[in-house]
Amino acid sequence: MTFTWPTVLPLIFMAVMGLALLAYVILDGYDLGVGMLLPFAADDEKDLMVASIGPFWDANETWLVLGIGVLLIAFPKAHGLVLSALYLPVALMLIGLILRGVSFDFRVKARAERKALWNRLFFAGSLLASVAQGWMLGSYLTAFDRGLLSLLFSLGIAVTLPTAYAMLGAGWLIMKTSGPLQAKAVAWARAVLWPMGAALVGISLATPLVSHNIFDRWFAMPQFIGLLPIPVACAAAFFAAFHVTARPRVIEAGYGWVVFASTVLLFMLAFLGLAYSIYPYIVIDKLTVWQAASAHDSLVVIFVGVAVTLPAIIVYTVFMYRVFWGKASALSYGLRP
């Protein structure tokens, strides 16, 4: 491969798409996770849990729109192929996202008797969206194969991803709350930690088995040695989360954020591993980034847009997180809290 603009631009867009989806999975992951944990909290705690994600969830979901947007803009051929192959899970995810997104607002605006209904829809929508996303990831990795083994694999990811989101959600709540709710969040984190860890190991082992390509990439010397830091770092992150959740005093001393941070690290490492496994395909074994890319001129036009706006987006996102920094408190549209 020679490095010229026409060959590099598709790679850049692949990276932008990957990062947008990673940002989505982490950011919306924690608020989907909070949604799934909602039924386990007491009634007045539910308000606070929702308040902790209130200012953020909308922007979080926009990363999904960007990820899909880049797929559509930069790789129109893959866009049609991937999304029509994932037709049903996409529809289920969308219905899940619709239900949870609106429940969030309806639950406090509708009359009080209806609140329980909207809480339930908030939970159900979050769960549905997470399961559907897991299923989508699974079928993407198996190149939309409909064999039994591949379906089982997708099913495995579909039930795992919610645990990982719940872990993120619990980690988020540990940071954003205090007192009894925080203690509950720690307990939730402890409860999902092992299932999540076991599932991650299971998926990592199964992925090379369902895809020979991926097997060859990982289990050959010298790559194998070079790649070792990924599993080792995963183990370290997992241990850090385990260590902190088992010791209330560490959390009291202000290290609660470690749980969230190490789960985020796990997500990033898993993403790196995946990116390594898939490159340079955008539809595994079918389309490479270059085959799927749109016309060079169109890519240039949108590259300018990305180069200008993405930094600005990051700046004002950081600004927004700073405004709502610290422990969550009840939300109000009024002048003073």
Tell me which of 11, 19, 108, 274 binds another protein, using CB under 8 A: 108
Instruction: Point out which span in 56-64, 73-81, 115-123, 310-318 binds ligand HEM (CB under 6 A).
Output: 56-64
Locus of tokens 């995946």: 274
Nearer residue to ligand HEM within complex by CB, 320 or 330: 320
Closest approach of ligand HEM to the CB of residue 316, in Å:
14
Q: Which is nearer to another protein, 223 or 329 (CB)?
A: 329
Q: Contacting another protein (CB under 8 A), which of 12, 19, 40, 106?
A: 106
**Interaction between residue 320 and ligand HEM (CB under 6 A):** no
Tokens of 78: 């893959």
Taking the alpha carbons at both ends of the chain, their separation in whole angstroms is: 58
| Number of residues that make up the chain | 337
Structure tokens at 40: 């386990």
Segment contacting ligand HEM by CB under 6 A, of 58-66, 99-107, 162-170, 322-330: 58-66
Nearer to another protein, 219 or 321 (CB): 321
Q: How far is the CB of 65 from another protein (least distance, A)?
A: 5
Closest CB 87 distance from another protein, rounded Å: 5
Contact positions with ligand HEM (CB under 6 A) in 64-93: 65
Q: How far apart are CA 174 and CA 178, in angstroms?
A: 7
DSSP state of 147: S
Tokens representing residue 224 in the block = 């194998």
* Minimum distance from residue 79 beta carbon to ligand HEM (Å): 12
Amino acid at 112: A
Nearer to another protein, 11 or 108 (CB): 108
CB of 72 to ligand HEM, least distance (A): 8
Please give the residues from 57 up to 86 whose contact with another protein meets the rule CB under 8 A.
Answer: 58-59, 61-62, 64-66, 68-74, 76-77, 79-84, 86
For the record, the structure tokens of 327 come out as: 């422990």
Provide the token pair at 104. Answer: 């969030």
| Cα 162 to Cα 241: distance, rounded to the nearest angstrom | 17
Based on its alpha-carbon atoms, the radius of gyration of the chain, rounded to whole angstroms, reads: 21
User: In 3D, which of 51, 56, 69 has the Cα closest to residue 27?
Assistant: 56
| Kind of pairing between the strands at 287-288 and 281-283 | antiparallel
Among 46, 61, 211, 218, binds ligand HEM (CB under 6 A): 61
List the single partner that 231 binds among ligand HEM, another protein, none, CB under 5 to 8 Å by kind: none
Helix ranges, the chain (H):
5-37, 43-53, 57-74, 76-85, 87-109, 115-141, 148-176, 179-210, 212-218, 223-227, 229-245, 248-250, 257-278, 289-292, 296-323
Q: Which of 7, 204, 288, 317 binds another protein (CB under 8 A)?
A: 317
95 Cβ contact list (under 8 Å, min separation 6): 125, 128
211, two tokens: 């895809």
132 lines the binding site for another protein (CB under 8 A): no
Identity of the residue, 54 or 197, whose beta carbon is nearer to another protein in the bound complex: 54
**62 contacts ligand HEM (rule: CB under 6 A):** yes
Tell me which stretch binds another protein (CB under 8 A): 32-40, 97-105, 146-154, 221-229.
Answer: 97-105
Applying CB under 6 A, which residues contact ligand HEM? 58, 61-62, 65
